[in-house]
Structure 1
Amino acid sequence: MARGTGVSQGFSLADHLFNQDSISELAAEYAAALPDFDAPGFTHEVLSRFPDLALLERLEWIVDCLESRLSDDFPTMADQLEAAMVPELDPKQTDDDFGRFIHAPPGYLAVRHGLEHHRDRALDLIYETTKRFSMEWPIRPFLNRWPEETLARLKLWATDENYHVRRLVSEGTRPKLPWAKKLTMEPTTPLPLLYMLHADPTRYVTRSVANHLNDIAKTHPDLVVETLARWKTLGQQEAKELDWMTRHALRTLIKQGHEGAMDLLGFKADAPVSLKRLTLGDTTVAAGQALTFDVELEATKRSPVIIDYLIHFQKAGGKLSPKVFKLKQAVLKPNTPQVFAKKHVLKANATTFKLHPGAHKLVIQVNGRHLGEADFQVTL
């Protein structure tokens, strides 16, 4: 993570998560469990370097300072870390109970000191820690170093009574987990675990399963569609929840116009829909201003539709690169033209790309099929 990550318009995520109050609380937790723990010294040392460190750098520094005050013997260190743990997160919750970042250090110490010679004790420590703060990052080095053994442990955890543990099974094995260490196993290897988890009663778990499938879809699209269709047939998850999971898992494939994904959601690629009109508010738009347009569609029979629009942005080298955006999900009535309007602000300082002046293209896509396009110019 870049040094500036977490800072936007004066707000610092690093300062919000790691500050004098949170570090003092962490120090007090360890002092209460370990009589010889120097809470004031720990707090002073940790805070002394915070002004120069970004979010993840602060976490690593906290781990460094904690490590120096614990036993060099990992099994003993693990016992100390567990003794200082706060109570488990509320088991009656079902979603959005992430815990506190200051309780992540035991997982990082499990990797540092347990990966090679204390695998099982380290996994036990991760198991306990994830009930306080998710361990999807620390579990990944174990999946790379000990794939069979770690997957066997995750199979047991997939039926654990604690939903944070079950969620870790999916989240920790995601092929494209943001900011996390890359896994060396094939993206489809954890699929049997997702079969175990897809019927979970908690949204915290099913959201992770859906995100995991969305990751797999980027390399194995047909397999993901087949898997979701299979889960529908099995009937192990409530229909409403599985419908939500399916839409969430297929979001990338829907943007790409994948025919199988469209069909699974009830949107036909060959729906009898035509573009009657595409009108731009202006063919020249200044950076920071909005591209406005109207789309008029008509169908010869009742047709559920997903309407997307693609903007082909100008790149530095003169080529165009498309980006997909959602316009509307609707049902078109037979022989009844319907108009959809959109206002898209062309941000001059977008975080994911740089806006360049020159020729751009707008494309209208219905159920994955391109129906029409229009050119416009961007000025700075």
Structure 2
Amino acid sequence: MARGTGVAQGFSLADQLFNEETVSQIANEHAAAIPGFDAEEFTKEVIAKFPDLSLTERMEWIADCLEKRLSDDFPTMAGQLEAAMPRELDPSKTDDDFGQFTHAPPGYLAVRHGLENHRERALDLIYENTKRFSMEWPIRPFLNRWPDETLARLKLWASDENYHVRRLVSEGTRPKLPWAKKLDMEVTTPLPYLDILHADSTRYVTRSVSNHLNDIAKTHPDLVVETLMKWRDLGAQDKKELDWMTRHALRSLVKQGHVGAMELLGFKADAPVSLKRLDLAKDQVVGGEALEFEMELEASSESPVIVDYVIHFQKAGGKVAPKVFKLKQAVLKAGKAQVFAKKHVLKANATTFKLYPGAHKVVVQVNGKSLGEAVFDLSL
């Protein structure tokens, strides 16, 4: 797992997730299961170092402190960790039940002590712990080190009765999993497991499958469209749920104007739509102000449309970076013009996107097709 952000002044997610109360909870869980485990001493040691650690560093530090209080023999250590685990996450829920970050350390210890010489026991530990806290990050070193053996486990887990285990199969194999170690295997390798999981009854799993397809779409867009078409024809998933999954999986391709993605969603790239006008409130905009514009679209026949706008930003060195923004999904009636308006604030001090002065343009995009543009000048 990548390093997280440092602890900042004011609100701290790290402090909210990792504090004396949450650490005391896992300390008591281990003390109840492991003879001689001193919960009070463990808690003091752990929280004493927290002010200097980021969120992810705190998880690793808890693992460090647990490690020296457990057996040096990994199978015995794994047994101790399993004995100290809390009850499984509520099986009656079907979504948004990620677990507590303080229950992540068994995953660290599975990788540290089980990767090379205790693969099967380590995978057993991951299997049990993902029912308490998602093990999508720890499974990835095993996929890289033991791809065939780990994939064989995942094939079994794809049909497990516990939906957290099933989700791990999809989430742990995502090509672009945030903050996670890169996988060595081909991005298409997990597709047979997604074929199984796409029909899952829980949104927690189907959201992961959709995010996984969105990852694959970055390198294999046509394959993703073909996969979704296959699932539609198969009819194994509820139609309403599969429609939601399809929209979610194709969100990046829709922004890019991918014709196959648009067609699958019912939006024709060659829809008979014209841009009657595009008016900017002003063609000189100062950073921090809003770019205001209004457009008028008309269709010669009734047409479902996804209306986006693309701002072509100036970047350092004279480069230009287009960025797509969502505006509206609508149905245009034949011969009846429809007006769309937008105020887009150009944040001058955004931490994730830096503005540069100079000529910019906004482009109207309908069903992935550019219909017209207007130029404005940005000053800072």
Shared topology, TM-score over 0.5?
yes
Aligned to 1:322: 322
Cα distance in 1 for residues equivalent to 2:374 and 2:91? 53
Paired position in structure 2 for 1:231: 231
- Give the match for residue 180 of structure 2: 180
Structure 1 residues 2 and 31: CA distance shift in structure 2, 3 A: closer
Q: What are the Cα deviations for residues 314-358 of structure 1, in whole angstroms up to 9, with x where unaligned?
A: 101121100110000000000000000111111122232211111
Summarize the Cα distance change of 1:242–1:355 in structure 2 as closer, same or farther, 3 Å threshold.
Answer: same
Q: Secondary structure at the match of 1:174?
A: coil
Amino acid corresponding to residue 291 of structure 1 in structure 2:
L
Map 1:283-362; keep pairs closer than 5 Å: 283-362=283-362
Match of 1:108 in 2: 108
Q: Is the Cα–Cα contact under 8 Å of residues 306 and 366 in structure 2 kept in the other structure? A: yes
Return 5+ residue gaps in structure 2 as ranges. none
Matches within 5 A, 1:105-144: 105-144=105-144
CA contact (8 A) 2:7 2:53 kept: no
Deviations along 1:64-103, one digit per CA (max 9) or x if unpaired, are 1111111110000000000000000000000001110000
Secondary structure of the structure 2 residue equivalent to 1:363: strand
8 Å Cα contact 2:27-2:42 kept in structure 1:
yes
Query: Are 1:3 and 1:53, in contact at CA under 8 Å, matched by a contact in 2?
Result: no
Corresponding residue number in structure 1 for 2:86: 86
After the TM superposition, which parts of structure 1 deviate over 2 Å for at least 4 consecutive aligned residues? Answer: 1-7, 349-352
CA contact 1:74–1:118 (8 Å) conserved in 2: yes
Letter paired with 1:290: A
Which one-letter code corresponds to 2:119 in the other structure?
R
**Contact kept? 1:171, 1:209, Cα under 8 Å:** yes
The residue aligned with 2:5 is: 4
- Distance across 2 between alignment mates of 1:354 and 1:113: 43
Which deviates the most, 116-125 or 283-292?
283-292
CA distance in 1, matches of 2:3, 2:87: 33
Alignment length (residue pairs): 379
- Give 1:242's aligned amino acid: L
Q: How far apart are the structure 1 equivalents of 2:282 and 2:222?
A: 40
Query: Take 1:345 and 1:35, find their aligned partners in 2: how far apart are those partners?
Result: 59
1:1-380 equivalences in 2 (<5 Å) = 1=2, 4=5, 7=8, 10-380=10-380
Q: Per-residue CA shift, 1:128-153, capped at 9, x if unaligned?
A: 00000000000000000010110110
Q: Label 1:297 to 1:244 Cα distance change in 2 as closer, same or farther (>3 A).
A: same
Relative to structure 1, the CA distance from residue 376 to residue 2 in structure 2 (aligned partners, 3 Å threshold; closer, same or farther) is farther
| 1: CA distance, partners of 2:6 / 2:222 | 35
The one-letter code matched in structure 1 to 2:345 is V
User: Shift in Å at residue 6 of structure 1?
Assistant: 7.0
Give the residue type in structure 2 aligned to 1:149: E
CA distance in 1, matches of 2:283, 2:132: 53
Secondary structure at the aligned position of 1:294 is classed as: strand
Are 1:363 and 1:373, in contact at CA under 8 Å, matched by a contact in 2? yes
How much does 1:3 deviate? Answer: 5.6
How far 1:300 moved relative to its partner? 0.1
Gaps of at least 5 residues in structure 1 are none
The SS at the match of 1:355 is coil
TM-score, with length taken from structure 2: 0.98
How much has 1:286 moved relative to structure 2?
1.4
CA contact (8 A) 1:142 1:150 kept: yes
- The letter for the 2-side match of 1:14 is A
Q: Would the alpha carbon gap of residues 183 and 63 (structure 1) be closer, same or farther in structure 2, given more than 3 Å must change?
A: same
CA contact (8 A) 1:305 1:332 kept: yes
Question: 1: distance between equivalents of 2:126 and 2:293?
Answer: 52
What SS does the aligned partner of 2:274 have? strand
